[in-house]
């Protein structure tokens, strides 16, 4: 144990004091070094949690290996689905087979990308599902909804990893206004999505119907049940009466769940992404611009945006009545606390028009006011219009844009 501690101390440049009264080895860590240790442990636990899930019940020894370059018999797919321990019905049919082959063969590269991103988010999603005693396989809905993209926006305006519409998000207490959209906050959106799925299950007492309702709305599922007759109990009983998109939604979920569980059999290897250090949250108590932070501690404004996509204007909109969380690399938590006064002192430089929290809350959260937005690389007028519930024409008119292609990264525009 002594040699291990000395090696660990050497690795992280810790100070060692061996001459203590009781003769025991004493290690003195700085707050930053404690954060560094915690970051390493968190990353290891995150990866181990992800890797262990698919091996917990099913191993390669349990199944017959078949050359995946050849057509796999229906009986094999059906048998493997039955092997999966789940509370969700996963029947096999020709439609399910098509989606299994989409995820495991046709779009395997996309599957590898999604699984790589999932290493970061699945442990958190599983935690939220476990709290509610919900099937952990429901995390695969994030594959079907957004391909695990936290910043995804659909043409209809569904936003975030869980593709929540504005009304649904507001119904589950996600905050959306000129400065913040919590649909982009992975944990907040996951909590809302889990609550929504839980409520839908309470209505239907069948997970396939709850999943279908998550996609097309409970109203459409209720109409399908009415048309199918009172004996309809599952998605498959009402299949032909559902909207076209929803008919493929549950089969897609089954296909994604199969490919994820049996990815090793199909030689699907999760991409290895450099996510940087694991993160933790700190509660910010004062109205703060990202530039106040990036000019004080070693983190760029762009990195702050990546970690906190819910803040639309690089501003953490703290008011007298509410503080907000900030995601930071664990290794910078102590550094932020140490320099917090210095960060706050820069408010007059970066927040001149918002310096009075009372005015900020009164003026910028008032109904009908537009939004100032700093254009980012990859933004389009169509996506911005969907995001802010307006039209491309309105944005172009408000900013004297003659051509949609004239939108340039770095420019601040007004969105009515």
* Tens of pLDDT, residues 234-262: 999 999 999 999 999 999 999 999 999 99
Catalytic residue among 101, 128, 137, 145, which?
A: 145
- Residue among 217, 207, 154, 218 at smallest CA distance from 183: 154
Q: How far apart are CA 253 and CA 259, in angstroms?
A: 10
User: What pLDDT is stored for residue 407 in this prediction?
Assistant: 77
First-last CA distance in the chain: 64
pLDDT tens sequence across 100-157: 999 999 999 999 999 999 988 998 999 999 999 999 999 999 999 999 999 998 888 8
Tokens of 151: 């910043």
- Residue among 276, 296, 280, 278 at smallest CA distance from 288: 296
Q: How far apart are CA 72 and CA 63, in angstroms?
A: 13
Q: Which residues pair with 324 in a beta bridge?
A: 284
Note the pTM of the prediction, 2 decimals.
0.75
Q: Per-residue pLDDT averaged across 374-381, rounded?
A: 78
Q: How far apart are CA 268 and CA 107, in angstroms?
A: 10
Q: How far apart are CA 143 and CA 141, in angstroms?
A: 5
Q: How confident is the model at residue 4 (pLDDT cuts 50, 70, 90)?
A: very low
Written as one string, the DSSP assignment of 184-208 is G-HHHHHHHHHHHHHHHHHHHS-HH
3 close to 291: Cβ distance less than 8 angstroms: no
145 catalytic? Reply is yes
Query: Beta strand pairing status for 371-374 and 288-289?
Result: unpaired
> What is the 3-state composition of the chain as percent helix, strand, coil, each rounded to the nearest 5?
55, 10, 35
Which stretch of 243-247, 340-344, 408-412 has the lowest confidence by average pLDDT? 408-412
**Is the pLDDT higher at 390 or at 240?**
240
Q: In this structure, what DSSP letter does residue 318 have?
A: -
Tokens of 314: 């690089």
- Residue among 118, 79, 33, 124 at smallest CA distance from 334: 33
The whole-chain average pLDDT of the chain stands at 82
């Amino acid at each position: 144990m002594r040699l291990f501690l000395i090696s660990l101390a050497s690795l992280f440049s810790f100070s060692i004091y061996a001459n203590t009264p009781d003769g025991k080895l004493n290690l003195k860590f700085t707050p930053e070094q404690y954060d560094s240790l915690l970051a390493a442990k968190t990353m290891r636990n995150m990866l181990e949690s992800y890797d262990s899930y698919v091996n917990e019940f099913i191993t390669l020894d349990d199944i017959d290996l078949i050359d995946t370059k050849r057509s796999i018999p229906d009986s094999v797919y059906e048998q493997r689905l039955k092997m999966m321990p789940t509370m969700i019905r996963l029947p096999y049919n020709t439609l399910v087979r098509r989606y299994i082959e989409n995820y495991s063969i046709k779009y395997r590269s996309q599957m590898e990308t999604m699984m790589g991103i999932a290493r970061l988010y699945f442990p958190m999603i599983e935690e939220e599902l476990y709290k509610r005693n919900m099937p952990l396989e429901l995390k695969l809905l994030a594959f079907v909804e957004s391909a695990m993209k936290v910043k995804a926006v659909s043409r209809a305006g569904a936003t975030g990893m869980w593709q929540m519409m504005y009304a649904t998000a507001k119904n589950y207490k996600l905050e959306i206004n000129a400065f913040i959209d919590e649909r982009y906050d992975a944990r907040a959106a996951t909590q809302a999505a889990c609550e929504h799925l839980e409520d839908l299950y309470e209505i239907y007492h069948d997970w396939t119907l709850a999943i279908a309702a998550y996609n097309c709305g409970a109203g459409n599922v209720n109409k399908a049940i009415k048309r199918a007759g009172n004996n309809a109990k599952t998605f498959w009983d009402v299949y032909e009466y559902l909207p076209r998109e929803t008919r493929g939604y549950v089969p897609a979920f089954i296909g994604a769940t199969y490919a994820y569980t049996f990815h090793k059999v199909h030689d699907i290897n999760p991409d290895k992404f450099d996510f940087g250090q694991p993160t933790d949250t700190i509660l910010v108590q004062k109205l703060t611009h990202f530039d106040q932070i990036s000019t004080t501690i070693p983190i760029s404004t762009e990195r702050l945006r990546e970690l906190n996509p819910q803040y639309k204007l690089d501003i953490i909109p703290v008011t007298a009545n509410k503080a907000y969380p900030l995601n930071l690399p664990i290794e910078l938590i102590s550094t932020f606390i140490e320099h917090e006064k210095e960060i706050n002192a820069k408010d007059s430089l970066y927040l001149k028009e918002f310096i009075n929290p009372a005015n900020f809350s009164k003026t910028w959260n008032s109904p009908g006011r537009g939004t100032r937005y700093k254009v980012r690389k990859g933004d389009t007028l169509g996506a911005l219009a969907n995001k802010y519930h307006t039209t491309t024409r309105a944005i172009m008119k408000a900013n004297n844009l003659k051509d949609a292609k004239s939108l340039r990264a770095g420019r601040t525009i007004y969105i009515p």
